[in-house]
A = this chain, B = another copy of it.
Amino acid sequence: MSIDEVLADALKLVKPDRAEEAEVEALSRMILDRVGRLIGSEGVEAEARILGSIAKGTWLKGDYDIDVFILYPPGIGRGMLTDLSIRIGVKVFEDLGGRWILRYAEHPYVEGWVKGVRVNIVPACRSKPGSWITAVDRTPYHTDYVRRMLPSEEGRDQVRLLKKFMKGIGVYGADVRIGGFSGYLCELLIIRFGSFIDTLRSASKGWIGLFIDLEGYYRDVEDARRVFGDQPLIVVDPIDPRRNVASPVSLTKLSEFTAASKLFLDKPSIEFFNPPSIRLDTDLIREAIERRGSTLLAIVFDEPAIPPDTLWGEIYRSLKAFVNILEKWEFKVIRSSAWSGDGFTAFIVELESGMLPRVKLHRGPPVDSPEASRFLEKYTRGGDRVSGPWIDGDRWYVARRRRYTDVYSLLDDLPRGDLPSYGFSRDIAASIARGVKIYMGTDLLELAGRSRGFSEHLYDILDGRPRWLRFGFIEDTPG
Protein backbone atom coordinates (compact mmCIF):
# COMPACT_ATOMS: atom_id res chain seq x y z
CA MET A 1 0.00 0.00 0.00
CA SER A 2 1.07 3.55 -0.69
CA ILE A 3 1.39 6.10 2.07
CA ASP A 4 -1.73 7.88 0.82
CA GLU A 5 -3.77 4.70 0.97
CA VAL A 6 -2.53 3.91 4.45
CA LEU A 7 -3.29 7.45 5.61
CA ALA A 8 -6.78 7.26 4.16
CA ASP A 9 -7.38 4.06 6.11
CA ALA A 10 -5.84 5.55 9.23
CA LEU A 11 -8.06 8.58 9.01
CA LYS A 12 -11.08 6.29 9.22
CA LEU A 13 -9.66 4.94 12.46
CA VAL A 14 -9.04 8.29 14.13
CA LYS A 15 -11.74 10.65 12.91
CA PRO A 16 -14.99 10.54 14.88
CA ASP A 17 -18.15 10.27 12.79
CA ARG A 18 -21.02 12.74 12.93
CA ALA A 19 -22.90 10.65 15.51
CA GLU A 20 -19.95 10.59 17.89
CA GLU A 21 -19.40 14.29 17.46
CA ALA A 22 -23.06 15.01 18.24
CA GLU A 23 -22.93 12.73 21.27
CA VAL A 24 -19.78 14.40 22.62
CA GLU A 25 -21.30 17.79 21.97
CA ALA A 26 -24.53 16.95 23.79
CA LEU A 27 -22.83 15.29 26.74
CA SER A 28 -20.36 18.14 27.16
CA ARG A 29 -23.10 20.75 27.06
CA MET A 30 -25.26 18.89 29.56
CA ILE A 31 -22.43 18.57 32.11
CA LEU A 32 -21.24 22.09 31.53
CA ASP A 33 -24.77 23.37 32.25
CA ARG A 34 -24.99 21.41 35.46
CA VAL A 35 -21.58 22.59 36.66
CA GLY A 36 -22.50 26.17 35.70
CA ARG A 37 -25.72 25.97 37.71
CA LEU A 38 -23.90 24.54 40.74
CA ILE A 39 -21.33 27.35 40.55
CA GLY A 40 -24.21 29.79 40.58
CA SER A 41 -25.85 28.17 43.59
CA GLU A 42 -22.50 28.29 45.46
CA GLY A 43 -22.40 32.00 44.82
CA VAL A 44 -18.77 32.16 43.63
CA GLU A 45 -17.55 34.18 40.74
CA ALA A 46 -16.25 31.23 38.68
CA GLU A 47 -16.73 30.03 35.14
CA ALA A 48 -17.03 26.47 33.80
CA ARG A 49 -15.39 25.60 30.47
CA ILE A 50 -14.80 22.50 28.39
CA LEU A 51 -11.07 22.36 27.64
CA GLY A 52 -8.63 19.79 26.28
CA SER A 53 -8.93 17.64 23.17
CA ILE A 54 -12.74 17.83 23.05
CA ALA A 55 -12.59 21.63 23.00
CA LYS A 56 -9.76 21.58 20.46
CA GLY A 57 -11.43 18.97 18.27
CA THR A 58 -8.39 16.68 18.32
CA TRP A 59 -9.73 13.67 20.23
CA LEU A 60 -9.38 10.21 18.78
CA LYS A 61 -12.45 8.38 17.62
CA GLY A 62 -14.00 6.41 20.48
CA ASP A 63 -11.27 7.48 22.86
CA TYR A 64 -12.00 10.62 24.84
CA ASP A 65 -12.45 12.16 28.27
CA ILE A 66 -14.51 15.26 28.85
CA ASP A 67 -12.41 17.81 30.74
CA VAL A 68 -14.59 20.34 32.55
CA PHE A 69 -12.56 23.13 34.12
CA ILE A 70 -13.89 25.41 36.84
CA LEU A 71 -11.95 28.63 36.50
CA TYR A 72 -11.73 30.75 39.64
CA PRO A 73 -10.50 34.31 40.12
CA PRO A 74 -6.76 34.31 41.10
CA GLY A 75 -7.57 35.72 44.54
CA ILE A 76 -9.28 32.53 45.71
CA GLY A 77 -7.47 30.44 48.35
CA ARG A 78 -6.22 26.98 47.52
CA GLY A 79 -8.36 25.29 50.15
CA MET A 80 -11.51 27.06 48.96
CA LEU A 81 -10.82 26.20 45.33
CA THR A 82 -10.34 22.51 46.16
CA ASP A 83 -13.31 22.22 48.50
CA LEU A 84 -15.72 23.95 46.14
CA SER A 85 -14.66 21.91 43.13
CA ILE A 86 -14.90 18.61 44.93
CA ARG A 87 -18.34 19.53 46.24
CA ILE A 88 -19.53 20.54 42.76
CA GLY A 89 -17.91 17.56 41.05
CA VAL A 90 -19.30 15.01 43.46
CA LYS A 91 -22.77 16.55 43.21
CA VAL A 92 -22.76 16.40 39.40
CA PHE A 93 -21.97 12.68 39.37
CA GLU A 94 -24.33 11.88 42.27
CA ASP A 95 -27.16 13.73 40.46
CA LEU A 96 -26.47 11.79 37.27
CA GLY A 97 -26.17 8.50 39.10
CA GLY A 98 -22.56 8.02 37.89
CA ARG A 99 -19.70 6.56 39.90
CA TRP A 100 -16.81 8.86 40.76
CA ILE A 101 -13.42 8.88 42.41
CA LEU A 102 -11.08 11.50 43.86
CA ARG A 103 -7.85 11.78 41.88
CA TYR A 104 -4.68 13.56 42.88
CA ALA A 105 -2.48 15.46 40.51
CA GLU A 106 -0.96 18.68 41.83
CA HIS A 107 -4.27 19.12 43.69
CA PRO A 108 -7.30 16.84 43.96
CA TYR A 109 -10.01 16.69 41.34
CA VAL A 110 -13.05 14.53 40.71
CA GLU A 111 -13.16 11.90 38.00
CA GLY A 112 -16.51 10.36 37.23
CA TRP A 113 -18.33 8.31 34.61
CA VAL A 114 -21.37 9.43 32.70
CA LYS A 115 -22.89 7.17 30.03
CA GLY A 116 -19.63 5.27 29.80
CA VAL A 117 -17.61 8.44 29.24
CA ARG A 118 -14.93 9.57 31.65
CA VAL A 119 -15.49 13.13 32.86
CA ASN A 120 -12.89 15.11 34.81
CA ILE A 121 -13.99 18.11 36.85
CA VAL A 122 -10.82 20.10 37.42
CA PRO A 123 -10.30 23.37 39.31
CA ALA A 124 -7.94 26.04 37.99
CA CYS A 125 -7.36 29.78 38.33
CA ARG A 126 -7.93 32.41 35.68
CA SER A 127 -4.28 33.49 36.09
CA LYS A 128 -2.46 35.97 33.91
CA PRO A 129 0.26 34.29 31.78
CA GLY A 130 3.43 34.10 33.81
CA SER A 131 1.63 34.41 37.15
CA TRP A 132 0.38 30.81 37.23
CA ILE A 133 -1.16 29.66 40.49
CA THR A 134 -2.04 26.01 39.77
CA ALA A 135 -0.27 23.72 37.31
CA VAL A 136 -3.35 23.58 35.03
CA ASP A 137 -3.93 27.34 34.78
CA ARG A 138 -2.25 27.19 31.36
CA THR A 139 -4.87 24.82 29.99
CA PRO A 140 -7.42 27.44 28.86
CA TYR A 141 -4.65 29.30 27.04
CA HIS A 142 -3.44 26.06 25.43
CA THR A 143 -6.96 25.31 24.23
CA ASP A 144 -7.40 28.81 22.83
CA TYR A 145 -3.99 28.74 21.14
CA VAL A 146 -4.57 25.43 19.38
CA ARG A 147 -8.05 26.52 18.24
CA ARG A 148 -6.62 29.68 16.79
CA MET A 149 -3.68 27.97 15.07
CA LEU A 150 -5.59 24.92 13.83
CA PRO A 151 -8.87 26.42 12.71
CA SER A 152 -9.57 23.85 9.99
CA GLU A 153 -10.72 20.27 10.27
CA GLU A 154 -7.81 19.21 8.04
CA GLY A 155 -5.26 20.46 10.55
CA ARG A 156 -7.06 18.79 13.44
CA ASP A 157 -7.15 15.50 11.53
CA GLN A 158 -3.39 15.67 11.09
CA VAL A 159 -3.11 15.92 14.89
CA ARG A 160 -5.33 12.87 15.21
CA LEU A 161 -3.14 10.86 12.84
CA LEU A 162 -0.02 11.83 14.75
CA LYS A 163 -1.53 10.96 18.13
CA LYS A 164 -2.75 7.61 16.89
CA PHE A 165 0.58 6.82 15.28
CA MET A 166 2.38 7.68 18.51
CA LYS A 167 -0.05 5.55 20.48
CA GLY A 168 0.47 2.71 18.06
CA ILE A 169 4.24 2.76 18.44
CA GLY A 170 4.10 3.34 22.21
CA VAL A 171 5.50 6.86 22.52
CA TYR A 172 2.27 8.71 23.30
CA GLY A 173 1.78 10.04 26.82
CA ALA A 174 3.65 12.49 29.01
CA ASP A 175 3.20 10.40 32.16
CA VAL A 176 6.35 9.19 33.88
CA ARG A 177 5.86 5.52 32.93
CA ILE A 178 5.81 6.31 29.19
CA GLY A 179 7.98 9.43 29.11
CA GLY A 180 6.57 10.29 25.70
CA PHE A 181 4.69 12.96 23.76
CA SER A 182 1.63 14.76 25.19
CA GLY A 183 -1.44 15.59 23.12
CA TYR A 184 -0.58 19.28 23.29
CA LEU A 185 2.93 18.51 22.01
CA CYS A 186 1.38 16.66 19.04
CA GLU A 187 -0.72 19.74 18.29
CA LEU A 188 2.30 22.02 18.41
CA LEU A 189 4.23 19.66 16.12
CA ILE A 190 1.44 19.77 13.53
CA ILE A 191 1.32 23.58 13.84
CA ARG A 192 5.08 23.60 13.20
CA PHE A 193 5.33 21.02 10.41
CA GLY A 194 1.89 21.45 8.81
CA SER A 195 0.99 17.79 8.38
CA PHE A 196 1.38 14.33 9.82
CA ILE A 197 3.63 13.19 7.03
CA ASP A 198 5.89 16.24 7.14
CA THR A 199 6.25 15.75 10.89
CA LEU A 200 7.39 12.16 10.29
CA ARG A 201 9.73 13.23 7.49
CA SER A 202 11.41 15.64 9.85
CA ALA A 203 11.48 13.18 12.77
CA SER A 204 12.93 10.42 10.61
CA LYS A 205 16.09 12.49 10.18
CA GLY A 206 16.57 12.64 13.95
CA TRP A 207 15.22 15.14 16.39
CA ILE A 208 17.91 15.19 19.04
CA GLY A 209 18.74 18.87 19.41
CA LEU A 210 15.59 20.03 17.62
CA PHE A 211 14.38 23.44 18.79
CA ILE A 212 10.86 24.70 18.13
CA ASP A 213 9.85 28.17 19.29
CA LEU A 214 6.59 29.03 17.52
CA GLU A 215 6.27 32.45 19.12
CA GLY A 216 9.96 33.35 18.72
CA TYR A 217 10.66 33.98 22.39
CA TYR A 218 14.34 33.10 22.04
CA ARG A 219 17.05 34.49 19.79
CA ASP A 220 18.36 31.00 19.02
CA VAL A 221 18.80 27.56 20.49
CA GLU A 222 21.81 28.60 22.61
CA ASP A 223 19.70 31.34 24.13
CA ALA A 224 16.98 28.77 24.94
CA ARG A 225 19.51 26.33 26.39
CA ARG A 226 20.36 28.84 29.08
CA VAL A 227 16.85 28.18 30.39
CA PHE A 228 16.32 24.53 29.43
CA GLY A 229 19.80 23.03 29.70
CA ASP A 230 20.62 20.27 27.25
CA GLN A 231 17.26 18.55 27.00
CA PRO A 232 17.23 16.49 23.78
CA LEU A 233 14.11 18.15 22.36
CA ILE A 234 12.97 21.70 23.13
CA VAL A 235 9.49 22.85 22.15
CA VAL A 236 8.83 26.18 23.83
CA ASP A 237 5.28 26.53 25.14
CA PRO A 238 3.70 29.40 23.14
CA ILE A 239 1.82 30.27 26.33
CA ASP A 240 4.84 30.17 28.66
CA PRO A 241 8.38 30.85 27.39
CA ARG A 242 9.89 29.15 30.46
CA ARG A 243 8.21 25.81 29.82
CA ASN A 244 9.51 23.07 27.50
CA VAL A 245 6.45 21.15 26.35
CA ALA A 246 8.77 18.30 25.32
CA SER A 247 10.53 17.97 28.69
CA PRO A 248 8.77 14.68 29.59
CA VAL A 249 10.05 13.07 26.35
CA SER A 250 12.89 10.68 27.13
CA LEU A 251 15.81 10.21 24.78
CA THR A 252 14.66 6.64 24.19
CA LYS A 253 11.10 7.63 23.21
CA LEU A 254 12.43 10.40 21.00
CA SER A 255 14.69 7.88 19.27
CA GLU A 256 11.88 5.37 18.96
CA PHE A 257 9.76 7.99 17.22
CA THR A 258 12.62 8.73 14.83
CA ALA A 259 13.21 5.06 14.04
CA ALA A 260 9.51 4.25 13.64
CA SER A 261 8.99 7.31 11.41
CA LYS A 262 11.82 6.15 9.20
CA LEU A 263 10.39 2.65 8.97
CA PHE A 264 6.85 3.90 8.30
CA LEU A 265 8.00 6.17 5.49
CA ASP A 266 9.92 3.25 4.05
CA LYS A 267 7.23 0.61 4.51
CA PRO A 268 3.91 2.28 5.30
CA SER A 269 1.42 0.05 7.06
CA ILE A 270 -1.83 0.53 8.91
CA GLU A 271 -0.35 -1.58 11.72
CA PHE A 272 1.60 1.43 12.97
CA PHE A 273 -1.78 3.00 13.82
CA ASN A 274 -3.52 -0.18 14.80
CA PRO A 275 -1.00 -2.67 16.15
CA PRO A 276 -2.12 -6.27 16.19
CA SER A 277 -2.54 -7.72 19.66
CA ILE A 278 -0.09 -10.24 20.99
CA ARG A 279 -1.05 -13.89 20.79
CA LEU A 280 0.16 -15.34 24.06
CA ASP A 281 1.11 -18.97 24.29
CA THR A 282 2.67 -20.16 27.54
CA ASP A 283 4.43 -23.11 25.94
CA LEU A 284 6.08 -20.91 23.36
CA ILE A 285 7.17 -18.43 26.04
CA ARG A 286 8.58 -21.30 28.11
CA GLU A 287 10.49 -22.57 25.11
CA ALA A 288 11.83 -19.09 24.34
CA ILE A 289 13.13 -18.74 27.91
CA GLU A 290 14.73 -22.17 27.87
CA ARG A 291 16.34 -21.70 24.48
CA ARG A 292 18.04 -18.35 24.93
CA GLY A 293 21.02 -19.31 27.10
CA SER A 294 21.10 -16.04 29.03
CA THR A 295 19.83 -15.65 32.59
CA LEU A 296 16.45 -14.02 33.00
CA LEU A 297 15.47 -13.01 36.50
CA ALA A 298 12.96 -10.81 38.27
CA ILE A 299 12.66 -9.42 41.74
CA VAL A 300 9.03 -9.03 42.64
CA PHE A 301 7.38 -7.18 45.49
CA ASP A 302 4.01 -5.62 46.36
CA GLU A 303 3.15 -2.55 44.31
CA PRO A 304 3.45 0.52 46.55
CA ALA A 305 0.11 2.33 46.88
CA ILE A 306 1.17 5.74 45.57
CA PRO A 307 0.03 7.83 42.55
CA PRO A 308 1.25 6.42 39.19
CA ASP A 309 3.68 9.21 38.30
CA THR A 310 5.27 9.01 41.73
CA LEU A 311 5.37 5.23 41.51
CA TRP A 312 7.00 5.17 38.09
CA GLY A 313 9.52 7.82 39.07
CA GLU A 314 10.50 5.61 41.98
CA ILE A 315 10.47 2.47 39.83
CA TYR A 316 12.88 3.89 37.26
CA ARG A 317 15.19 5.27 39.93
CA SER A 318 15.21 2.02 41.90
CA LEU A 319 15.60 -0.16 38.81
CA LYS A 320 18.69 1.85 37.92
CA ALA A 321 20.04 1.31 41.43
CA PHE A 322 19.36 -2.42 41.11
CA VAL A 323 21.19 -2.61 37.78
CA ASN A 324 24.09 -0.66 39.29
CA ILE A 325 24.45 -3.27 42.03
CA LEU A 326 24.51 -6.10 39.49
CA GLU A 327 27.04 -4.28 37.33
CA LYS A 328 29.18 -3.36 40.32
CA TRP A 329 29.63 -7.09 40.91
CA GLU A 330 30.37 -7.52 37.19
CA PHE A 331 27.25 -9.30 36.08
CA LYS A 332 26.67 -8.21 32.50
CA VAL A 333 23.19 -6.79 32.11
CA ILE A 334 21.79 -7.27 28.61
CA ARG A 335 18.55 -5.42 29.38
CA SER A 336 16.46 -4.31 32.29
CA SER A 337 12.83 -3.30 32.55
CA ALA A 338 10.05 -2.89 35.07
CA TRP A 339 6.45 -3.90 35.18
CA SER A 340 3.83 -2.84 37.68
CA GLY A 341 0.17 -3.71 38.05
CA ASP A 342 -2.22 -6.34 39.36
CA GLY A 343 -0.85 -5.68 42.82
CA PHE A 344 2.80 -6.35 42.19
CA THR A 345 5.88 -4.64 40.83
CA ALA A 346 8.65 -6.54 39.03
CA PHE A 347 12.17 -5.56 38.04
CA ILE A 348 13.14 -7.85 35.20
CA VAL A 349 16.75 -8.22 34.20
CA GLU A 350 18.42 -10.32 31.56
CA LEU A 351 22.06 -11.17 32.27
CA GLU A 352 24.58 -12.65 29.87
CA SER A 353 25.03 -15.19 32.61
CA GLY A 354 24.06 -15.60 36.25
CA MET A 355 27.42 -17.25 36.91
CA LEU A 356 30.83 -15.57 36.84
CA PRO A 357 34.30 -17.13 36.88
CA ARG A 358 35.76 -17.72 40.35
CA VAL A 359 38.86 -15.66 39.62
CA LYS A 360 39.18 -12.10 38.39
CA LEU A 361 41.98 -9.80 37.44
CA HIS A 362 42.13 -6.91 39.85
CA ARG A 363 44.09 -3.81 38.84
CA GLY A 364 46.00 -2.29 41.73
CA PRO A 365 47.67 1.07 42.26
CA PRO A 366 50.77 2.43 40.51
CA VAL A 367 53.95 0.98 41.97
CA ASP A 368 55.20 4.41 43.06
CA SER A 369 51.94 5.53 44.70
CA PRO A 370 51.31 5.69 48.44
CA GLU A 371 48.50 3.13 48.02
CA ALA A 372 50.97 0.45 46.88
CA SER A 373 51.91 -0.56 50.43
CA ARG A 374 48.32 -1.10 51.50
CA PHE A 375 47.66 -3.10 48.35
CA LEU A 376 50.63 -5.37 49.03
CA GLU A 377 49.65 -5.84 52.66
CA LYS A 378 46.22 -6.90 51.54
CA TYR A 379 47.13 -9.18 48.67
CA THR A 380 50.63 -10.58 49.13
CA ARG A 381 49.39 -13.41 51.31
CA GLY A 382 46.07 -15.08 51.94
CA GLY A 383 42.73 -13.32 51.83
CA ASP A 384 41.14 -13.24 48.41
CA ARG A 385 44.46 -13.70 46.62
CA VAL A 386 44.60 -16.45 44.01
CA SER A 387 47.92 -15.49 42.43
CA GLY A 388 50.20 -12.49 42.32
CA PRO A 389 50.48 -9.63 42.98
CA TRP A 390 52.67 -8.87 40.00
CA ILE A 391 53.73 -5.75 38.15
CA ASP A 392 52.69 -4.93 34.61
CA GLY A 393 53.70 -1.55 33.22
CA ASP A 394 53.58 0.90 36.09
CA ARG A 395 50.97 -0.92 38.20
CA TRP A 396 50.37 -3.78 40.56
CA TYR A 397 47.86 -6.45 39.59
CA VAL A 398 46.50 -9.45 41.42
CA ALA A 399 44.30 -12.39 40.51
CA ARG A 400 41.69 -12.63 43.25
CA ARG A 401 38.59 -14.53 44.10
CA ARG A 402 35.27 -12.99 43.15
CA ARG A 403 32.94 -12.29 46.02
CA TYR A 404 29.87 -13.37 44.07
CA THR A 405 30.15 -16.00 41.38
CA ASP A 406 26.41 -16.57 41.26
CA VAL A 407 23.74 -13.87 41.02
CA TYR A 408 21.48 -15.71 43.40
CA SER A 409 23.92 -15.38 46.28
CA LEU A 410 24.31 -11.67 45.50
CA LEU A 411 20.53 -11.18 45.58
CA ASP A 412 20.38 -13.18 48.78
CA ASP A 413 22.91 -10.83 50.32
CA LEU A 414 21.11 -7.58 49.39
CA PRO A 415 20.74 -5.57 52.59
CA ARG A 416 16.95 -5.45 52.64
CA GLY A 417 16.89 -2.80 55.35
CA ASP A 418 19.43 -0.53 53.73
CA LEU A 419 18.36 -0.27 50.09
CA PRO A 420 17.85 3.52 50.08
CA SER A 421 21.58 3.95 50.64
CA TYR A 422 22.06 2.06 47.33
CA GLY A 423 19.76 4.50 45.54
CA PHE A 424 16.43 2.68 45.88
CA SER A 425 13.50 5.02 46.52
CA ARG A 426 11.86 4.95 49.91
CA ASP A 427 8.52 3.39 48.97
CA ILE A 428 10.11 0.70 46.82
CA ALA A 429 12.74 -0.08 49.46
CA ALA A 430 9.98 -0.35 52.07
CA SER A 431 7.97 -2.71 49.90
CA ILE A 432 11.03 -4.88 49.24
CA ALA A 433 11.83 -4.90 52.96
CA ARG A 434 8.31 -6.25 53.61
CA GLY A 435 8.92 -9.12 51.24
CA VAL A 436 10.54 -9.89 47.92
CA LYS A 437 10.57 -12.96 45.73
CA ILE A 438 13.16 -13.81 43.16
CA TYR A 439 12.11 -15.53 39.95
CA MET A 440 14.64 -17.10 37.63
CA GLY A 441 14.07 -18.30 34.07
CA THR A 442 10.87 -20.27 33.62
CA ASP A 443 9.73 -19.36 37.18
CA LEU A 444 8.57 -16.18 35.50
CA LEU A 445 5.72 -18.12 33.93
CA GLU A 446 4.14 -18.28 37.37
CA LEU A 447 3.89 -14.48 37.34
CA ALA A 448 2.64 -14.54 33.77
CA GLY A 449 -0.17 -16.78 35.00
CA ARG A 450 -1.16 -14.11 37.53
CA SER A 451 -1.27 -11.14 35.15
CA ARG A 452 -2.12 -10.71 31.48
CA GLY A 453 -0.27 -7.37 31.53
CA PHE A 454 2.87 -8.99 32.85
CA SER A 455 2.57 -11.78 30.26
CA GLU A 456 2.57 -9.25 27.46
CA HIS A 457 5.52 -7.43 28.97
CA LEU A 458 7.38 -10.73 29.27
CA TYR A 459 6.57 -11.56 25.66
CA ASP A 460 7.83 -8.14 24.60
CA ILE A 461 11.14 -8.44 26.41
CA LEU A 462 11.72 -11.99 25.21
CA ASP A 463 11.18 -10.84 21.65
CA GLY A 464 13.12 -7.69 22.43
CA ARG A 465 11.96 -5.68 19.42
CA PRO A 466 9.60 -2.74 19.72
CA ARG A 467 6.25 -4.04 18.50
CA TRP A 468 6.32 -1.86 15.40
CA LEU A 469 9.52 -3.53 14.31
CA ARG A 470 7.62 -6.82 14.25
CA PHE A 471 4.73 -5.53 12.08
CA GLY A 472 4.39 -7.55 8.96
CA PHE A 473 6.24 -10.52 10.35
CA ILE A 474 4.84 -11.35 13.75
CA GLU A 475 6.29 -14.75 14.43
CA ASP A 476 4.89 -17.46 16.60
CA THR A 477 7.75 -17.48 19.09
CA PRO A 478 9.15 -14.56 20.94
CA GLY A 479 12.95 -14.37 21.08
Contact = CB atoms under 8 A, between A and B. Distances in A.
A389 interface: yes
A250 to B, nearest CB: 9
A390 B335 contact: yes
B292 A462 contact: no
Interface in A219-263: 232, 251-252, 254-256, 258-259, 262
Q: How many copies does the complex hold?
A: 2
A464 B389 CA distance: 6
A438 to B, nearest CB: 20
Given A464-B389, A466-B390, A473 B334 contact: no
A387 to B, nearest CB: 3
Interface stretch (A29-37, A88-96, A114-122, A354-362): A354-362
Interface stretch (A124-132, A273-281, A391-399): A391-399
Interface centre among A232, A380, A391, A395 (most CB of B within 10 A): A391
Interface string A350-377: 1011000111110000111000110010
A206 interface: yes
B368 A208 contact: yes
Interface centre among A259, A389, A394, A465 (most CB of B within 10 A): A465
A252 to B, nearest CB: 6
A388 B292 CA distance: 12
Interface centre among A208, A333, A353, A464 (most CB of B within 10 A): A464
A293 B372 contact: no
A205 interface: yes
Contacts of A387: 292, 335, 350, 461-465, 478-479
A206 B367 contact: yes
A255 B464 contact: no
A11 B166 CA distance: 85
B391 A255 contact: yes
Interface in A259-295: 259, 262, 292-294
Contacts of A390: 335, 464-466
B367 A255 contact: yes
A469 interface: yes
Nearest to A250: B393
A251 B395 CA distance: 10
A388 B357 contact: no
A332 B386 CA distance: 16
A381 interface: yes
B352 A205 contact: no
7 shortest interchain CB distances as A-B pairs: A206-B368, A387-B464, A293-B358, A388-B464, A353-B357, A352-B357, A255-B367
